[in-house]
Structure 1
Amino acid sequence: MGLRNEQLRWQLVRGLVRTLHLERLANRYSRTTVMAVFNLINGGLSIALVSFVALVTQEAFIFPSLGATAFILFYVPLAQPASPRNTLCGHLIGALAGLLSLYLFGLQHHPSAFVTGVDLARVGAASLSLGLTGCLMVLLRVAHPPAGATALIVSLGLMPDPAQLPILMAGVGLLLVHAFIMNRLAGIPYPVWSTRPTAPATTVSLP
């Protein structure tokens, strides 16, 4: 599986190199260097896109866990956690779990933990939000690791207003659109919604 992911990552980079007519650069430098520069540029562009929308609208489209999501979308694009289904559902679960935790511990109108510090109520909210997020992602089969950070962002009071939830999800959606375009340009069959499960490897019994 690791070799297959490595081959897909290289296919993604090589496809974009051909599209942009940069074959000479790809032939001159090592594969690792080309892939590292690709992630530097493409990761930066994806976050710049979302940040620019946040600048124009003055809304919180950008939040820390999007950085981890961007890395997954371009590093292992065909892995199940990178699919639009897992990405959208994971972040939604994380945000809702964070909001629920704030209300259960009476912190919905409190300043963030980075302003007031951490007390027992905040410890409870953070713990519940992360635990609940992990539990629901496993039960619903929509694992997306960066969603755990989204749960903490909300439960620590950085995005405590329920009205921010649609904006948060719009930021995730923008990132997914960019990932879809870039992957498809490179010839990677990035899914419209969900990645097809990989067939389990068959075992051969020796005589």
Structure 2
Amino acid sequence: MTRARRAAYVALSSFGCIVFIGLCAILSGAPLLFPSLGPTAFLVFATPQAPGASPRNTVFGHLAGVLAGLTGLAATGLLTAAPDLTHPSWPRIGAAAIALGLTCAAMAALDIPHPPAGATTLIIALGLLHTVPQVIAVLVGVVLIALLAVLINKLFGVPYPWWRFLEEARSPVASRR
């Protein structure tokens, strides 16, 4: 694929995913569309064979980010606090630092690298999306983009794993570990 065709594919696929998820957000009234879906879209369409782009890493990386973000909020007593990005406080900094550290540790320990999950954990830890309905919406948005990536990449013949560990389990290299 030429560089221009690849750029067009990445742009149009990312555009289509965000429009679809945005439409679902409008229809549901839920915050399904949030900032870290942007880098996720880039990963799954620009580098579909990269470990961080796999559906498994996408879903579990963001899940780790959400859980770590909630843990950071709970540990600092901010679970029910309103977000405030304009007046940093030590508890808010602590929530963000705890959340990011836990997210990075979980992704490394579980071998599920997905860099955009670091943004998701900060979105949660900074209180931007932290209620139960909002957290569920974030996870639904992540599942939607993972499913759309599988569908779009397969539809256009772009090699993309269905679920990373299934491909690894079938490879001869995986059996030598």
Give the alignment's TM-score, normalised by structure 2.
Answer: 0.89
Where does structure 1 differ by over 6 angstroms across 4 or more consecutive aligned residues? none
Q: Alpha-carbon deviation of 1:177?
A: 1.6
Residue type matched to 1:148 in 2? Answer: G
Match of 2:164, SS state, is: coil
Aligned residues: 170
The answer as to whether partners of 1:99 and 1:162 remain within 8 angstroms in 2 is no
Moved more, 190-199 or 178-187: 190-199
Greater mean alpha carbon deviation, residues 180-189 or residues 126-135: 180-189
1:44 to 9, 15, 35: 15
Name the residue aligned to 1:13.
Answer: none
Q: Which residue of 2 aligns with 1:65?
A: 36
Cα displacement (A) at 1:52 = 0.6
Q: Which residue of 2 aligns with 1:120?
A: 90
Following superposition, the deviation at residue 156 of structure 1 comes to 0.5
Provide the C-alpha distance between the structure 2 equivalents of 1:83 and 1:39, rounded to a whole number of angstroms: 16
1:79, CA displacement in angstroms? 1.6
- The structure number with the bigger radius of gyration is 1
5 Å-filtered alignment, 1:128-207, equals 128-194=98-164, 196-197=167-168, 199=173
SS at match of 1:48: helix
Encode CA deviations 1:156-198: one digit per residue, 9 max, x unaligned.
0101113322221111111112111111122234222115348
Amino acid across the alignment from 1:187 = G
C-alpha offsets along residues 41-76 of structure 1, whole Å, 9 cap, x if unaligned? Answer: 221111111011001111011110000000000011
**Partners of 1:77 and 1:185 in 2: CA distance:** 13
- Partner in structure 2 of residue 97 of structure 1: 68
Paired residue for 2:56?
85
- Distance (Å, rounded) in 2 between the aligned partners of 1:75 and 1:36: 8
Query: C-alpha distance in 2, partners of 1:85/1:176?
Result: 8
Unaligned 5+ segments in structure 1 are 1-9, 11-30, 201-207
| Counterpart residue type for residue 178 of structure 1 | L
**CA RMSD in angstroms, aligned pairs only:** 1.7
Deviations 1:96-137 (A, max 9, x none): 1001110110111211122x5211111101011001100011
Is 2:26 aligned against 1:55?
yes
Q: In structure 1, what is the Cα distance between the partners aligned to 2:46 and 2:9?
A: 10
Q: Give the TM-score of the pair, scaled to structure 1.
A: 0.77
Once residues 155 and 130 of structure 2 are traced to their aligned partners in structure 1, the CA distance between those partners, rounded to angstroms, is 38
Aligned equivalents of 2:162, 2:3: Cα separation in 1: 29
Report the 3-state secondary structure (helix = DSSP H, G, I; strand = E; otherwise coil) of the residue aligned with 1:113: coil
Equivalent AA in structure 1 for residue 120 of structure 2: T
